[in-house]
Amino acid sequence: MSTHFSVSVHCLLLLSSSAPERITSAMIAGSVNTNPVVVRRILGGLKKAGLVDSSPGTRGFYLAKPASEITLAMIYQAAKDEGPLFPIHGNCNPNCDVGLRIDSLLTNLYQVAEAKVEQFFASITLEDMERSCSQIEVVPSSAE
């Protein structure tokens, strides 16, 4: 799994906390500490999923629905890569008893695990994440 999910949550938290104001991809990229092109690509996927929106001629993005209606499962589905959550190593030795069976064994296990993750994510909203984020005490790093 790539970092697209965590960056997506980061972007959506920024949009939620700034609502109703719009935020540009450059501003979001400054917070995420990445290139605005990366942010625009991720926001494009979130827009396609109906989670964010933007208007032609108006700079910036905004949430397409209230934070209370956006679940982590929705974000996960919008941000997930083509591959599985837990990829399986390939090219196992066909002369090994374990190597012959590991793919089938782990595929079934990982499918169940991913379903449980999505079920758990469906119970958490962006609003819940925003509330939790505001409760985290930030300890300033000491300058040496």
Kindly report the CATH number assigned to the domain that includes residue 91.
1.10.10.10
Range of the domain at 34: 3-134
Contacts of 51 (CB under 8 A, 6+ apart): 12, 63, 64, 65, 70, 74, 75, 78
Number of domains in the chain: 1
Query: Exposed e or buried b for every residue in 98-126, given b needs 16+ CB within 10 A?
Result: eeeeeeeebeeeeeeebeeebeebeeebb
- State residue 1's pLDDT score: 57
Is 90 part of any domain? yes
Choose among 8, 3, 141, 135: nearest CA to 73: 8
- State residue 7's pLDDT score: 94
- State residue 85's pLDDT score: 76
The mean pLDDT values, 10 residues at a time, for the chain of 144 residues are 87 93 92 93 95 85 96 94 75 87 88 93 97 87 63
Is 144 part of any domain? no
Is 141 part of any domain? no
- State residue 144's pLDDT score: 52
pTM (2 d.p.): 0.84
